[in-house]
Amino acid sequence: MIDTRSNKMWGGRFADGPDAIMEAINASISFDRRLASQDIAGSRAHAAMLGATGILEASDVEAIREGLLTVLSEIEAGDFAFSAALEDIHMNVEARLKELIGEPAGRLHTGRSRNDQVATDFRLWVRDQLDAAEVGLMALIRALLAQAEAGASWVMPGFTHLQTAQPVTWGHHMMAYVEMFGRDLGRVRDARARMNYCPLGAAALAGTSFPIDRQMTSEALGFTAPMANSLDAVSDRDFALEFLSVASICAMHLSRFAEELVVWSSAQFRFVTLSDRFSTGSSIMPQKKNPDAAELIRAKVGRIMGANVGLMMVMKGLPLAYSKDMQEDKEQVFDAADNLMLALAAMAGMVKDMTANREALAAAAGSGFSTATDLADWLVRVLGLPFRDAHHVTGALVAKAEAKGCDLPELTLDEMQAEHSGITKDVLEVLGVENSVRSRTSYGGTAPDQVAAQVARWKDLVG
Ligand code: ARG
């Protein structure tokens, strides 16, 4: 039973228990229970180290080890009675351990504090999320590669200002996102490498006088090394902020792509057909098939970036070392992580399932005078015009086609020669979109061969 008059973890100097409001503002168990398995892993590593260094008796360590395993299985089975009076996951686990094994439970906290404990638990949790983000990004990249490979040579309009600019290939457009998500993957890996240092053993803030072995706990928990400064170890949350900023950039990329899918799946564009599995209907308009998943992915960046800004604000004025403000680090990170993983999975599913409408893409590719630049380039290359003059002649031809209500290739040779007498019928070759994209062979350009080469490079990278 919990002594409600004073807290049994630190109640020695307290004559009275907390006000109900105090308990409500102070308790974090409603959300930090998500750190349970990390907390128990940290405690197991700590206990084993206390045994190995002779700080605790082997029999106590064994009792603690077994007790912690029981606590973990109770939590996993949903049989654990979490208590707000016990504040947080650390005290909930320890109190249950005490019920199970008695006195040795009280020795577990030797040479550590909740400050290094929570810093360790949270790092372990964020590290798992970085690993999950890596898996999610790889799956998305593979789905994009499949699209890019199938449509490496399919023409579509490329846009600037969402106005038709120059024809590009479907594969090229897909591969642009592969590059973006590939950089997100790089950022995830960088963040993981930078954050993988162990705070455990920093104790409250100053380290401890017990002869602990921080190398041992660090290794047991899969960290690269113990953190080198105990004040820093318990007081920074930059690892969580870095996760959130990496997540924000990734969510922004997801959002941009989602926006394109919303536009592309509309009746006006019809560039893609989303599968039924990733669409919804309307309760009133029977014809509707809505891209809700894409819209929700587009929106997720708001809460993820919000978490990033929110935690930055929590941290920005805190003096060293730990302050209770830092308990506010978790919910935002949990929410951002959950939503990032969901958005990545939904996007991968949508991309895998969607059908690019080759004919609609091709029809749109040729409209809007998309090969005007090719015409100007031809005037430079074949007739030797300065580019500015070529631009002017082409502009006049575009105006003529517009007035006539046709595309550039439909102007007659006479009409073209009226703008520049040197133009021959050879120009027609560059006015076709297929030739246009095939000619963009510069490194990183939209030519199908270039796209195929990039697809092959990425397939090697992501398997
Ligand atoms: N629940 C706390 C948190 O999440 C654990 C650390 C408490 N430390 C303390 N000195 N009160 O930050």
Looking at ligand 1, which atom is closest to the CA of residue 122? 4
- Ligand 1 midpoint to CA 114 (Å): 6
Alpha-carbon distance 94 to 415, whole Å? 87
- Ligand 1 midpoint to CA 27 (Å): 9
Catalytically annotated residue among 43, 161, 323, 436: 161
Name all residues whose Cβ lies below 6 A of ligand 1. 28, 32, 88, 114-115, 118, 322, 324, 326-327
User: Would you state the pLDDT for residue 4?
Assistant: 47
Active site residue 161: yes
Looking at ligand 1, which atom is closest to the CA of residue 204? 10
Active site residue 421: no
User: Would you state the pLDDT for residue 10?
Assistant: 67
- Ligand 1 midpoint to CA 236 (Å): 13
Looking at ligand 1, which atom is closest to the CA of residue 87? 1
From 114, 123, 235, 332, mutation site for ligand 1 pocket: most ligand atoms within 8 A of C-beta: 114
Would you give per-residue pLDDT tens digits along the chain (463 residues)? 444 456 666 667 788 888 899 999 999 999 999 999 999 999 999 999 999 999 999 999 999 999 999 999 999 999 999 999 999 999 999 999 999 999 999 999 999 999 999 999 999 999 999 999 999 999 999 999 999 999 999 999 999 999 999 999 999 999 999 999 999 999 999 999 999 999 999 999 999 999 999 999 999 999 999 999 999 999 999 999 999 999 999 999 999 999 999 999 999 999 999 998 988 887 777 777 899 999 999 999 999 999 999 999 999 999 999 999 999 999 999 999 999 999 999 999 999 999 999 999 999 998 888 889 989 999 999 999 999 999 999 999 999 999 999 988 899 999 999 999 999 999 988 888 998 899 999 999 999 999 999 999 999 999 8
- Ligand 1 midpoint to CA 30 (Å): 14
